[in-house]
Structures are given as C-alpha cells and as structure tokens.
A and B are shown apart, each in its own frame.
Chain A
Amino acid sequence: MNDEAQALRKPGSAGSRLKALIRSSEIDTRMLTMVMVLIVLWLGLHMITDGLFLTARNLYNLAVQSSVVSIMATGMVLVIVARHIDLSVGSVMGFTGMVIAWLQVDIFTLGAAWNWPLTILLGLALGGVIGAWQGYWIAYRSIPAFVVTLGGLLMFRGFAFLVTDGRTVAPMDPTYQLLGGGIDGSIGAMWSWVFGIVAITIVALLTWQNRNSRSKHGFTPKPIVMELALLLLWAALIIGFVMVMNAYTKPRTDIPRGIPVPVLILIGVVIVMSLITKVTSFGRYVFAMGGNPRAAELSGINVKKTTMMIFMIMGVLCGIAAVITTARLNAGANSMGMLAELSVIAAAVIGGTSLAGGVGSIAGAILGAVIMQSLENGMVLIGVSSAMRQVVIGLVLILAVWFDTIYKKTR
C-alpha cells in the first residue's frame, strides 16, 4: 500500500507518467470515469441480455430514445449551474407539443407546405415565451425557481389538457414525421458518411486551430502524439457511430437507415449549447453566477437578464423536444413529457452537474442521459417491470450524487 503510494509519487514511474499524460491531454478525469461507467454498463447489459443490447437495431433505438431527454438536459445544465432548477420542463414540453399538434392538424391547412415549418417556429417561440415568463418571476421578482417552476409544472400540464380538452390530435404531416426518426426518419448511408467525414474534418480543424492559437501566445501546446491520438479516437468514434447506424436496415429490405434525424437535431443542439457555454460571455456569466452570485453582480454582470435568458433557452429546448416527441408519436397527447423533468434533472446530475451550482458540462449531460436511457432500455430488454425500473433509476440518481460528493472530497 505504502510502496504503491510511493511509486505513484516517484517521478518517472509509470503511475506518475500516466497521470501526467492525462493531465497534458486535458481530459477531464471525471468524464473519463463516466465513459468507463457507460462502457461497463453496456458490456454488462449485453451479457445479461444474451447479446441483444449491443446490436445495431438496439443502439439505433437507444440513440433516438436518448435524444429528447438529452436535448432538454443541455438546458438543464445551464439552469442548475446558475443555482436554479426547472421542474416544469416536462409540462412545458407537453404543452408546446399539444399546441404544435393542434395548430398543425386542427387549425392550419392540412398538407400545406408552410404548415409544419410554421408550427415548429410557433412551438419554439411559445417555449421561449414560457421560459421568459418563468424567468421573469425568478429573476425580477425574486421568487425561488423551485416555486415558480413547480407552479409551472402544474399550470402547463393543465394547459396541455385544455388545448384540446384532453383529445389526442393526429396524424401529423408526413414530412414532419421524419423529424421523429421513424422508418424514413434517417438520412441514409451516403449522407451519414458525408456527415461523418465533415465531422472528422471539423474536429481536425478545431484541434489545429487551437494548437496554433496556443503557440501564438507562447504557451506550450499539448504533446503532438497526444493530440493525434485524441483525434484518432474521435475519428474512430464517429466512424463507428456511422457504421452502426448504417448497419440497421429498414424492415424487410437491406437499405441502411443511417443517422436518425432526432440524433442530428441533438448534435446540432449540443454544438450550439457547447458554444454558448464555452465561447460566449453569456456562458461565462452563467458559470460565474453559479460560483458566486454576488461576485457576478459586482463584476457588472446583469444577473437578472442572464437568469431570464437561461430560462428562455430552456423553454426553446423544451419546444425542440416537443417537436421530436410529436413527430415520433405522430400525434399530440396531453400526457407527453410526464415525469420528464425527473429524467432531465437526473441526466444533468449523473453527468456531473453539481446541484450546488457553478459546475457542469453539456457533454456530461449527454453522457448522463445516455447512461440513464441505456439502463432503462436494457431493463426493458431483460423484462424488468416498469415499477422496478423506477426503483433502479431512483437509486442510480442517489448513487450519482453520492459519487459527486465523494469525488469532490477526494480531489
């Protein structure tokens, strides 16, 4: 035990070199742990299900299932990082979804080309307005987010019912349905490869540009070997993803499906949200507010406006999630998004967002959502009852927060 500790400290030993390597790669150790958890979970589920889990078909479904919660979880990261909470996301998603479906089916001309794009636009706008409204009470009237959004949870669920008096609205526009990732809701083999190649090129360009900028400022860049290894890893992941999505074929044919549209939407959301958190002042302010709200104010940050914007973004993301959900269901039902707030908050928290504020990442939240969805999906494959699934997910949430406290203590 003692020797081991010494070996770790001795310069040049394998342990310290590994540590130095991880350090120089600037890989988040916490993220690494989560990736490992996911890998172990996947392998475990694969074995328990006798090889049903890691199949193209199941992974495709898993990707589609994860996208709705993931999209909302990226917004929840901002909310929780800024020391707030949003309990209303499931209801807001249900309400905006109902309004979209109602407009598309009952109000606007059926089959008109402008119908579905306009309903999407209105749905996202409605999400933004709801977010602004809740954000206003939280930021400018100083009512705790817990209270405002708990009220929102009830109100918007009620509104979701009132839109059509509880009637389910269907069917949606055929083009609109593609957004849900159904049988035709994917982009096919060729475009999936185009997407993969573009993605790899972008990752390479970003790496190169980052390196340039670092050396221009006279900082020592990461070791080139490390950089290349990371790049290769990314390329392998992207290629692997495209191959898996292409390996799942349409029913009774051998036409590859390719990347499902909801996953493309998710990728778009992740890129935008990552940019917002990493390279805009707004994102920096959100984290500053979470770290020390008073300091943020004294630094001249408009904390109220920033808070309101956070909730607006959250609302728009609920709108996007509503689009995917209604497209996938091919209907608007007032129960959409019921209990989604719990999955969304759990995804963010399992993904390393600290409930104390100031800490969290978009990538982490996606990992969190995928871990949660994998568990859920795997348990369904095994045939675990829905009651038991809830018990397990609940326990996992507690474990994740426990892990978070341990991680913070031992750092």
Chain B
Amino acid sequence: MTKAPLVEMKGVHKRFGGVHAVKNVSLDLYPGEVVGVLGHNGAGKSVLMAMLSGALPIDEGEIHINGAKADIRTPRDARAYGIETIYQTLALADNLNAPANLFLGRELKTAWGTLDDDSMEAEARQVLHRLNPNFTNINDAVVNMSGGQRQVVAIARAIYFDARILIMDEPTAALGPSESAMVKDLTKKLSAEGIGIFLISHDMHDVFDICDRIMVMKNGENVGMYPIEDVTKDDVLSLIILGRLPEDWQPRSKQKVDAV
C-alpha cells in the first residue's frame, strides 16, 4: 500500500435539517482494493457514498482523488473522475428499455450524431448476457422486468464504462444465488484489474469473501476501519451493533503470528 490512495475522504459531514446523517467520516481506498462499508440500517452508508458519486452535495470536508483535491458537485463530475455507482435504488428510468438505461447520458451515436439504438442494443446484449445468460427481454421497459433483472441492468451500466472507482450499494440484494456468485466473481475480477471498489453489503459472507478492508459506520460515524484479516465476523457484528470491538480484541492476524 505504498501507492497514493485512489480516493481519500477527509472529515466529511452531511446534515439533513436536524438529522446529522454523516459525521466527520474519513476513509481511503487504494487501487485494486475492495473496501466494505458496513453498518446498521440508516447508519449513513448510502449518504456517504452519494457524496462521492455526486448525487448529494457535500456539506463539509474534502474528497481527494489520486492525491489531488476533487470538486464533485454533480453525478457528471463524478463520472469525469471515473467514479461509477450502482445505486441502492438502482436509479433506472422505468419507462425505457435496458439498452437505453445502460447508455443513459452517454448514448452511442451514429456518424450523423443521432442515437445509434442498434449498436446500443448489440452492446447491451453482450454485457447483460455476461451477467445473466437468461436475459432475453432486454427491449422491454425495465418497469416490466424482474427485480434481479433490473439490478443486472444497473450493474451493467456501472461496469460497461471503464470505471476506476466503483461504488456498489447492495448490488446483490435482489439477485439469485448464481447471479450473486457472478457479481462476486466480477467484483474480484475488476479489483484485480486495479479498480478500487466500495462495497456496501449486509451479507457477512460476501464481505469476508471479497473485501480487503472494512469500514463500519454507526449513527453516521466511522467506528473503525480494519484489514479483513484482523477481524472475525463476531468482531464486525460487535462494531455494527455496539459501535466498538470486543474488550479483549487484538488484531487477529497478529494473534495467529503469536500462536505460531
């Protein structure tokens, strides 16, 4: 971890009227790393990530990308920094079909400058099939698709354009086991390519499978950031529920070394 961090959030705050949703949170992400962002419902995970993806303006604090201060005010700014997001709400235009959603805001054009729907459909077919080979009705409006199919469209949209930083807010919540496995594989593959990934998940199994580090939030605060090999599932649960590690905790990787 000698390289400069890809993302560094420093002392970030967000308030909604009286609700202090994110309190002085700092965290970092390195290239090729998967950082799990954990916490109870309403802890502030989505809001924190929304500030990085430009979906919500940042109230206080700074974001640095590749060591330089970044000014992210709109989703478009975030995309310019190579930040792609799979939103918890999926953020799909329900009345449009899968290709239109996949390329929304970044349509493929013909030589005439008009929408190239055929090319978009062909590309969409490829990328969607990689995630779900049974996906055939891609020309339906996404409102008529299953929850899992909709999620696949949202995932495809984030990975199709060469992201450098990927935010995945509960990406497998609606997926079946085989699709989930596929997304997990994909996550590993993307991080191996050097993409930095924030993964929000409530599934401990997934977290321990693919994350390199975890950060736990409670009531808007960062209550700890640890390499995955230093914590057990029980440690993480304690952080999520109580906001602190068990009394007798010491880095688990060290314990193993001690035991040897």
Contact = CB atoms under 8 A, between A and B. Distances in A.
A295 B91 contact: yes
Nearest to A283: B115
Given A298-B91, A299-B75, A300-B76, A287 B96 contact: yes
Contacts of B181: none
A275 B110 CA distance: 14
A296 interface: yes
Interface in B150-187: none
B102 to A, nearest CB: 10
Q: How large is the interface on A (under 10, 10 to 19, 20 to 34, 35 or more residues)?
A: 20 to 34
B118 A219 contact: yes
Given A216-B118, A217-B118, A301 B105 contact: yes
Interface residues of B, number: 29
A270 B107 CA distance: 24
A288 B75 contact: no
Nearest to A215: B118
B92 A284 contact: no
B73 interface: no
Interface string B83-107: 0010101111111100010001111
Contact of A284 (B87, B107, B122): B107
Nearest to A298: B91
Contact of A358 (B74, B89, B94): B94
Contact of B114 (A217, A219, A280): A280
B244 interface: no
A300 B118 CA distance: 22
A300 B79 contact: yes
A279 B118 contact: no
B114 A298 contact: no
Contact of B96 (A275, A278, A288, A298): A288
Given A217-B118, A280-B115, A281-B107, A292 B75 contact: no
Contacts of B121: 217, 219
A296 B93 contact: yes
A285 B107 CA distance: 10
A106 interface: no
B94 A291 contact: yes
Contacts of B94: 291-292, 358
A298 B118 contact: no
Contact of A299 (B89, B91, B109, B119): B91
A10 interface: no
A299 B118 contact: no
B104 A290 contact: no
A301 B96 CA distance: 15
A361 B89 CA distance: 28
A280 B55 CA distance: 25
Contacts of A300: 74-76, 79, 105-106
Contacts of B75: 297-300
A359 interface: yes
Contact of B119 (A217, A298, A302, A359): A217
A14 B227 CA distance: 65
Contact of B87 (A291, A298, A358): A298
Contact of B118 (A214, A285, A292, A295): A214
A19 interface: no
A358 B100 CA distance: 13
B105 A292 contact: no
A298 B55 contact: yes
The listed residue with most A CB atoms (<10 A of its CB), out of B55, B85, B93, is B93
Nearest to A357: B95
A50 to B, nearest CB: 45
Interface string B118-130: 1101100000000
A289 B87 CA distance: 17
A86 B74 CA distance: 28
Contacts of B93: 287-289, 291-292, 295-296, 299, 358
A301 B118 contact: no
A288 B115 contact: no
A386 interface: no
A347 to B, nearest CB: 21
Contacts of A218: 122
A279 B87 contact: no
Contacts of A219: 118, 121-122
A109 interface: no
A292 B91 contact: yes
A279 B107 CA distance: 11
A294 interface: yes
Interface in A295-319: 295-302
A289 B94 CA distance: 10
Given A217-B118, A218-B122, A280-B115, A299 B105 contact: yes
Given A284-B96, A292-B92, A292-B94, 18 more contacts: A216-B118, A284-B104, A288-B93, A288-B96, A290-B95, A291-B94, A291-B96, A292-B93, A295-B91, A296-B93, A298-B91, A299-B91, A299-B93, A300-B79, A300-B105, A302-B76, A358-B93, A359-B95
10 contacts: A217-B119, A279-B114, A285-B105, A291-B96, A291-B143, A295-B92, A297-B75, A298-B55, A301-B104, A358-B95
4 residue pairs, one from A and one from B, having the closest CB atoms: A291-B95, A291-B93, A358-B95, A299-B105
